[in-house]
Structure 1
Amino acid sequence: MTTYPPGRQDFSRSVPVRLWEDGFARDPAPYYAALRSQGPVGWAELAPGVPAYVITDRRAALRLLGDEEAFSHDPRPWESTVPDDSPVLGMMRWRPNSLFSDGADHLRYRTSLIDTFGRIEPHDLRARVHRAVRVLVGRIGPRGEADLVADFARPLMALVFNSLFGMPDSRGERLDAALGKMVEGGARAAAGEAEFGGYVLELIAAKSQERGDDLPSWLLDHPAGLTPEEVTWQVFLTLGAGHEPTANLVANALSRILGDARSYATLASGARPVADAVTEVLRHETPLANYGIHYARRPVTFHGAWIRAAVPVVISYGALAHFAERDGSGGGHPQDASHLSWSAGPHACPVRQHTLLIATEAIERLTQWLPDLEPVLPRERLTWRPGPFHRSLTALPVRFAPRSPDRPVDLP
């Protein structure tokens, strides 16, 4: 039986912290401080009129992530309470996939994903990333300047994931645009959700007619016997979760690397592995800042807060990272697993090694092709995309000596 610490703070009459404001995108620290001042559980809005409990304490987060008795991932009771045009529905709406399922359904979906992604050999994934980097360097190299968000991180993910999911390079811009609108959770979110949904439906329809050597085809033929509809929603989840957070991870890591000349020098010389810089981002500036959404199965007191049923309970990975960094509790060596960016418990990310490989190989290869990257703006002047869920740069302008991809520099 689930038991929690005594006490009962009811937020029903409290003013929520507005995570949808532009100010949150500019500087989330004061917002996290306001949430933490309320205790391990704070009260926020994900969009106007869409309240949520937000977990800002590591111990509370771990307990929530492991408690399937008191909390569910199924949002349908909550969905019935919000308007159909709510801008956060694209990220929170129920679908029959591993993210929004519990128990036997979750295990079936998760096992099919682990098995399917397990078929991707590291050397094959590395080759796909290298090819994508070469394509993009071919576009930006001769110019001597680029935006590493719009010209590299985001189109890189579209190229890599389209290749894994059996779609041509030419569809990359469509995929990138749809996901960008959906994740921001603003006025264009519904359009982005519809566009991305249409993209996935077309993909599954094509693979149902003719299989290929790709993830959707493997899912359709998996022994779990997923229906085409179930495969559609696993692809909706994994294609979206693979593209958007990984693009932000690469961009955030590059901004931190290029913003510190000494750090860049140690990485460029090989004295420090790029994997360390990527892990630093996961620990201190995680690209998926607020997610891991749960719903109390019934009203419950949790770490001093009264949690109502059918109200989202969000894990603030961004707040956990912020307070770990501020309090010096983030762990020791950069390679340690003190952060919770991969989540924890039964719903922990099943493909973290794939994500790390994509991010590290992309950054290593880019800096080998263009070793003299120089930021145009200091890091404190960079701007961030609005939205309650992510930590995502608007742009990362750089300059470098113009270079043809046919004349590589320092490639092994």
Structure 2
Amino acid sequence: MTTHSPDGHAFSRSTPVRLWEDGFALDPYRYYDALRAQGPVGWAELAPGVPAYVVTDRRAALDLLHDTDTFSHDPRPWESTVADDSPVLGMMRWRPNTLFADGAAHLRYRTSLIDTFDRIEPHDLRARVHRAVRVLVGRFGPQGEADLVGEFARPLMALVFNSLFGLPDSQSDRLEAALGKMMESGAEAAAGEAEFGGYVLDLIAARAERRGDDLPSRLLDHPAGLTAEEVTWQVFLTLGAGHEPTANLVSNALSRILGNPAYYSTLTSGARPVRDAVVEVLHHETPLANYGIHYARRPVSFHGVWIRAAVPVVVSYGALALSAGPEGAGSAPAAEREVPGGRHPNDASHLSWSAGPHACPVRQHTLLLATEAIERLTQWLPDLQPVLPRERLTWRPGPFHRSLTALPVRFSPRSPDQPGGPS
């Protein structure tokens, strides 16, 4: 069986599906169809010359995510086979943190993170989000137009996470720029990784010298006894995993809401909760589209495919989505296609939070953050209008994420100082 990518590249069972090429960002669902055509486990490239198995079947994904005897999260055997300048290393390189650990080490790191984040009260997180939204509306609100990616979703996450990690607002641009380069896995990926690493090192050095009321200080003082280096890498993971996917979750949800005026009106009127829109994105346009990377400890037969050791096995949360296209139309069975603005009968049926021992430990914090951000923005600016129809929006390149380059909107100009704003 052979299909074609948007740029004319032929897909076949013997040819890796190239998730790094420009066409993937343009229309990933075509690529997912090609992977599905290969069976539960497809064959792809994450970057030129970097092959990977890609799991596109829900049952196979769950088996992978729960089988710690057969599969490991430690990428070091694979790293030795990859060029030092590979653009995907920033997202896949081994570091001593919970994402790349197994067994007792993983449990120790994960427990420290869960305990630390559990000390963030919902009302505190909500207040931080409200403050960040007010700051950003103060910047672009009087203009009557904005880019809700570059001027809202991404800087919002930088402001919120900087406040949680004890850094001033002035550091937000530095965080945002470094993570954007690293996530795209392009020519600037190594520079982005280095810049982000420097950002985290500076933060931990300051907290090791003087504690504060922030997450790094709590990690340094946790009973697990993490070293300063181990805390550095937990923060590296947490900032990266928290900022970029959550920013994409917010912007993807806003694009879907604003692209459907009838749906938008039900949200702004309070007839339906914003949380529904956020959950729909996790079902149909998940922001971290391909990740959950494992490595077989030894060659093994897995769902009809012979898996070699030291080759990445990627979970395609994007391909697992119940919708086969951004508006719910595509090759998925009709019964599984999204009704725009319709509630999915089971909000837990997607795998965007992963599953098994490495499932996202802070999903409730993420949902609260994204939901509050959108609710607060639409309270400040209730007449948001998209400048472009959704099909004309463009997406950032990269094999791992589903991320808009921009979301231009217009609205009635307003300032946070005007009367009648959110309380």
Q: Structure 1-normalised TM-score?
A: 0.95
User: Residue in 1 aligned with 2:390?
Assistant: 379
Q: CA–CA distance in 1 between the matches of 2:73 and 2:280? A: 29
2:399 counterpart (372, 388, 402): 388
User: Are the equivalent residues in 2 in contact too, given 1:276–1:334 (CA < 8 A)?
Assistant: no
Residues 410 and 168 of structure 1: CA distance in aligned 2, closer, same or farther (over 3 Å)? closer
Q: CA–CA distance in 2 between the matches of 1:330 and 1:107? A: 38
Q: CA–CA distance in 2 between the matches of 1:116 and 1:403? A: 38
Query: Is 1:41 matched up with 2:41?
Result: yes
Q: How many residues align?
A: 401
User: Residue in 2 aligned with 1:209?
Assistant: 209
User: Residue in 1 aligned with 2:293?
Assistant: 293
User: Are the equivalent residues in 1 in contact too, given 2:142–2:414 (CA < 8 A)?
Assistant: yes
User: Residue in 1 aligned with 2:375?
Assistant: 364
Deviation, 1:407, is 1.5
- Compute the RMSD of aligned alpha carbons: 1.4
Q: CA–CA distance in 1 between the matches of 2:272 and 2:346? A: 12
User: Are the equivalent residues in 2 in contact too, given 1:42–1:54 (CA < 8 A)?
Assistant: yes
User: Residue in 1 aligned with 2:231?
Assistant: 231
User: Residue in 2 aligned with 1:94?
Assistant: 94
Deviation, 1:411, is 2.6
User: Are the equivalent residues in 2 in contact too, given 1:370–1:409 (CA < 8 A)?
Assistant: no
Q: Structure 2-normalised TM-score?
A: 0.93
Q: CA–CA distance in 2 between the matches of 1:274 and 1:406? A: 25
User: Residue in 1 aligned with 2:418?
Assistant: 407
Identity among equivalent positions (%) equals: 83
Deviation per CA, 1:277-336: give whole Å up to 9, x if none. 000000000000000000000000000001000000000000000557622348974562
Q: Match of 1:271, as an amino acid?
A: A
User: Residue in 1 aligned with 2:348?
Assistant: 337
User: Are the equivalent residues in 1 in contact too, given 2:280–2:344 (CA < 8 A)?
Assistant: no
Deviation per CA, 1:360-383: give whole Å up to 9, x if none. 000000000000100000000000
User: Are the equivalent residues in 2 in contact too, given 1:71–1:297 (CA < 8 A)?
Assistant: yes
Residues 125 and 20 of structure 1: CA distance in aligned 2, closer, same or farther (over 3 Å)? same
Deviation, 1:408, is 5.0
Q: Match of 2:391, as an amino acid?
A: E
Q: What pairs with 1:7-406 in structure 2 (closer than 5 Å)?
A: 14-322=14-322, 326-327=332-333, 328-329=335-336, 333=344, 336-406=347-417
Deviation, 1:14, is 2.2
Q: CA–CA distance in 2 between the matches of 1:187 and 1:281? A: 29
Q: CA–CA distance in 2 between the matches of 1:284 and 1:370? A: 26
Deviation per CA, 1:69-106: give whole Å up to 9, x if none. 00000000000000000000000000000000000000
User: Are the equivalent residues in 2 in contact too, given 1:279–1:334 (CA < 8 A)?
Assistant: no
Give 5+ residue unaligned stretches, structure 1. 1-12
Q: Secondary structure at the match of 2:42?
A: strand
Residues 67 and 242 of structure 1: CA distance in aligned 2, closer, same or farther (over 3 Å)? same
Higher mean alpha-carbon deviation, 320-329 vs 60-69, is at: 320-329
User: Residue in 2 aligned with 1:9?
Assistant: none
Q: Secondary structure at the match of 1:82?
A: coil
Residues 318 and 408 of structure 1: CA distance in aligned 2, closer, same or farther (over 3 Å)? farther
Residues 117 and 319 of structure 1: CA distance in aligned 2, closer, same or farther (over 3 Å)? same
User: Residue in 2 aligned with 1:3?
Assistant: none
Deviation, 1:15, is 1.1
Q: Match of 1:269, as an amino acid?
A: S
User: Are the equivalent residues in 1 in contact too, given 2:179–2:244 (CA < 8 A)?
Assistant: yes
Q: Secondary structure at the match of 1:161?
A: helix
Q: Secondary structure at the match of 1:45?
A: strand
Q: Secondary structure at the match of 2:87?
A: coil
Q: Secondary structure at the match of 1:368?
A: helix
User: Are the equivalent residues in 1 in contact too, given 2:322–2:336 (CA < 8 A)?
Assistant: no
Q: Match of 2:387, as an amino acid?
A: V
Deviation, 1:404, is 1.1
Q: Match of 1:304, as an amino acid?
A: G
Deviation, 1:158, is 0.2
Q: CA–CA distance in 2 between the matches of 1:58 and 1:161? A: 32
Q: Secondary structure at the match of 1:167?
A: coil
Deviation per CA, 1:20-61: give whole Å up to 9, x if none. 011000100110000000000000000000000000000000
User: Are the equivalent residues in 2 in contact too, given 1:91–1:182 (CA < 8 A)?
Assistant: yes
User: Are the equivalent residues in 2 in contact too, given 1:108–1:224 (CA < 8 A)?
Assistant: yes
